[in-house]
Amino acid sequence: MQFKLGDIAVEVVQKDIKNLHLSVHPPAGKVRIAAPLRMDLDTIRVFAITKLAWIKNQQKKLREQERETPREYLDRESHYVWGKRYLLKLVEKEAAPSVELKHNKIILQLRPAAGHEKKQEVLDAWYREQLKEVVPPLIAKWEKVVGVKAGKFFIQKMKTKWGSCSPGPKNIRINTDLAKKPLQCLEYIVVHELTHLLERQHNDHFTALMDAHMPQWRQYRGMLNSLPLAHQEWRY
């Protein structure tokens, strides 16, 4: 279901929820409202009108946000690990693929004639491994602070979110690209998702919980939002 506010299209998704939830998604600022199942469209439209200034402001921020250039996996191309810039060095060798950080270089070893997709696959798998090492102790640390117990955690490519959680099984999902960002950004997302196990909505209660658990969370969110977004087209 969809309606328009001037030249802004608003997608409406009705779910088994109690409150309205408005979101503006990269890269183009697509607007989505999650609404309770029985709420009529006029009520949803009035809600959207009251948030019009906020919607336009979020869309402006997204248009202005820097984007990464497509990765070509060439020698001396810039790649990031925990927010630090490394220059790619390709090494051809008849051996199992590997990735190593050495000084300011990220050394990607592959078999001769490995193509673009293989280079991306090996590097993405390496980023996932970095997160698999770092995420469990972060979850353990913040479970005690937030007062919750998470279920399983998953590392995966995510097109529209840095993280997500499933309140039922209490599972947490982390975007692979967070291994490229400063560690504080990952920590903020972990706390954000754990807090959602107490409060599903982004409301005043959620904000108060975040303020109590991590007073500097807005600084970390601002850091994450100011960094370049991945180049790929994000789908919804």
Residues with Cβ within 8 Å of residue 190, at least 6 apart in sequence: 135, 138, 139, 142, 163, 172, 174
Residue 60 binned pLDDT confidence (cut-offs 50, 70, 90): confident
Contact 14, 39 (CB under 8 A): yes
SS (H, E, C) 126-184: HHHHHHHHHHHHHHHHHHHHHCCCCCCEEEECCCCCCEEEECCCCEEEEEHHHHHCCHH
| Residue predicted with more confidence, 236 or 81 | 81
Q: What is the pLDDT of residues 104-125, one digit of tens each?
A: 999 999 999 889 999 999 999 9
Contact 146, 213 (CB under 8 A): yes
Torsion angle of the four alpha carbons 64, 174, 167, 16, in this order, in degrees rounded to the nearest 10? 40
Residue 64 binned pLDDT confidence (cut-offs 50, 70, 90): low
Total-model pTM? 0.70
